[in-house]
Amino acid sequence: MKVQESDFIRQKKPLLTRLLNRLLEEFPYASILAVDSKARLYSASRRNISVSEDDLLTMRGFVAKVSDGSHYAEYSFNEVSEEKLEEICRKVHDLAALSSSILPQGLEEQEYPVPTEDPTVFEGSTEYEVDPEEMGDDAVLEHLKALRDKGLSLSDQILDVYAFCTYQKYTKLFLSREKDLLQNVMWTNGTVSLMASRGEEIKDYYKSYSCLGGMELLSQMEAGVADGVGMVLKLLESEPMVPGEYECICDPEVTGMIVHEAFGHGVEMDMFVKDRALAPSYMDKYVASELVTMHDGACAAKESATYFFDDEGTMAHDTVVIEKGVLKNGISDLQSAMVLHTAPTGNGRRESYRRKAYTRMTNTFFEGGTDDVEEMIASVSYGFLLENPSSGMEDPKNWGIQCMVNIAREIKDGKLTGKIFSPIVLTGYVPDLLKSISMMSPNVQLGGGGYCGKGHKEWVKVSDGGPYLKARIRLG
């Protein structure tokens, strides 16, 4: 079934069209983005139950963006009515004229052209199988409680099981002189996190699940509980990593984190504009092993970061970033593309209507290869199988990489020994790491359970992944 348009957006569209036309009387460019988003969180742990709206993702609001012909200004608001139209127009006008009074001596305003637009009318909806609202809060919560109870029942050593699920269903409307775009999207995420204690230290292990769709996701979550219990108990016996550079096999989740942190951030073209990325000087050069082909795009996969158009009204793309080891393209928002004289790639995304649009990743992944996973492990004389990534940080300027990984399974003479090391800090120089990739498995898996920040803020939903890969990596 298709996600339905929000009644609120449908009712407000005539008013927003009048607001747009009123702004276009004063400004050569104006656009309105309207968002109606509903998101709910469900969780069950040993001593806590929760069913609430997600206050970060539940919102109704608008952004009016204008250009006076050379400078841009944006006004975010969440009250619109016939009576308020003039007040909104006045606030946009005042903001557009504000620069001279807030800029100290020596600073000036960047000049931009007015964007050219092709006439586009679009309406699209993603699909789902089980509507969370039809399923009901009680049924969702019962499912999570069952997962929790199953995890707790499997071992007395389990301190807690936190079963969590969330969905976001949103409608976005983008209006400008030439564009009238509407999209209705829903994604769902779930996590089962298990905890066990070793004295004061609490070890945890999580399995996350995601889909572009609805509560059909819940049926996938049960299978991982027993494995999760086994893993967290093994973590109790884990040892700290002996720092060094090792042959490593990365599972698709760790591959996804490397794709995202190592290279995805490095090709966000707003960083090119600021001279904060090394990538421009490596265009059409080898930056990775010839085995590596990398994609990013809101229509490159069906996952949590899939949409039809971005928050600046650019239609979604499937961008080939690296082709057989050679850097081919970056990803960009509209304003960066204007500076760089390139075509925008549909990656202009906002955390919410309250925030600025930046170049952001969407669904980012490596294509698969031809190697069998067992053969990959057998090829390692001494190294680790890396699993369960937790977080990472980008460094587009210097191509450093930092990923935190929960589990390194020891491999000796081509066999897993059963010994586990944790936690792991994975670091290195991105091209060294990507050029060291020597094997890749065929199957690509994406996970969309996480959020991506720009620096330390601006959280947006992303997915990432790829195949199992073999590379040489510094672990600490």
- Rounded to the nearest whole angstrom, what is the least distance from the CB of residue 258 to other proteins in the complex? 14
For other proteins, the binding residue among 4, 21, 70, 110 (CB under 8 A) is 110
Q: Does 201 bind other proteins (CB under 8 A)?
A: yes
Q: Do 112 and 70 contact (CB within 8 A), yes or no?
A: yes
Q: Which is nearer to other proteins, 119 or 455 (CB)?
A: 455
- Rounded to the nearest whole angstrom, what is the least distance from the CB of residue 21 to other proteins in the complex? 20
Q: Distance between alpha carbon 317 and the CA centroid of its chain, in Å? A: 15
- Rounded to the nearest whole angstrom, what is the least distance from the CB of residue 107 to other proteins in the complex? 5
Give me 62's structure tokens. Answer: 């608008």
Q: Do 446 and 465 contact (CB within 8 A), yes or no?
A: yes
DSSP state of 268: B
156 CB-contact burial (10 Å; exposed 0-12 / middle 13-18 / buried 19+): exposed
| Peptide bond just before 423 cis, omega within 30 deg | yes
Q: From residue 320 to residue 349, what is the string marking binding to other proteins with x (rule CB under 8 A)?
A: ---------------x--------------
Q: Which is nearer to other proteins, 118 or 200 (CB)?
A: 200
Q: From residue 20 to residue 59, what is the string marking binding to other proteins with x (rule CB under 8 A)?
A: -------------------------xxxxxxxxx-x--xx
Q: Which is nearer to other proteins, 217 or 262 (CB)?
A: 262
Q: Which is nearer to other proteins, 43 or 319 (CB)?
A: 43
Q: Is 144 left (phi over 0), alpha (psi -120 to 50) or beta?
A: alpha
For other proteins, the binding residue among 27, 72, 263, 468 (CB under 8 A) is 72
Q: Which is nearer to other proteins, 15 or 416 (CB)?
A: 15
Phi, psi of 112 (to 5 degrees): -130, 150
Phi, psi of 439 (to 5 degrees): -145, 145
CA distance 331 to 454: 14
Q: Does 402 bind other proteins (CB under 8 A)?
A: yes
Q: Does 398 bind other proteins (CB under 8 A)?
A: yes
Give me 130's structure tokens. Answer: 């089980």
Q: Do 389 and 368 contact (CB within 8 A), yes or no?
A: no
Phi, psi of 83 (to 5 degrees): -70, -25
Q: Which is nearer to other proteins, 53 or 372 (CB)?
A: 53
Q: Which is nearer to other proteins, 147 or 446 (CB)?
A: 147
Q: Does 75 bind other proteins (CB under 8 A)?
A: yes
Q: Does 351 bind other proteins (CB under 8 A)?
A: no
Q: Does 69 bind other proteins (CB under 8 A)?
A: no
- Rounded to the nearest whole angstrom, what is the least distance from the CB of residue 79 to other proteins in the complex? 4
Residues contacting residue 322 through CB under 8 Å, at least 6 positions apart: 263, 287, 288, 292, 293, 294, 328
Span 282-321, contacts to other proteins by CB under 8 A: none
For other proteins, the binding residue among 69, 113, 244, 442 (CB under 8 A) is 244
For other proteins, the binding residue among 25, 82, 104, 341 (CB under 8 A) is 104
**Of residues 44, 212, 38, the one with CA closest to residue 133:** 38
CA distance 85 to 16: 9
Q: Which is nearer to other proteins, 66 or 440 (CB)?
A: 66
For other proteins, the binding residue among 23, 32, 89, 141 (CB under 8 A) is 141
- Rounded to the nearest whole angstrom, what is the least distance from the CB of residue 302 to other proteins in the complex? 29
Q: Do 182 and 5 contact (CB within 8 A), yes or no?
A: yes
Q: Do 398 and 275 contact (CB within 8 A), yes or no?
A: no
Q: How many residues bind other proteins (CB under 8 A)?
A: 82
Q: From residue 410 to residue 449, what is the string marking binding to other proteins with x (rule CB under 8 A)?
A: -------------x-x-x-x--------------------
User: String of b and e for 367-388 (b: at least 16 CB within 10 Å)?
Assistant: bbbebebeebbebbeebbbbbb
- Rounded to the nearest whole angstrom, what is the least distance from the CB of residue 268 to other proteins in the complex? 13
DSSP state of 368: P
Span 253-272, contacts to other proteins by CB under 8 A: none
Give me 437's structure tokens. Answer: 């990739």
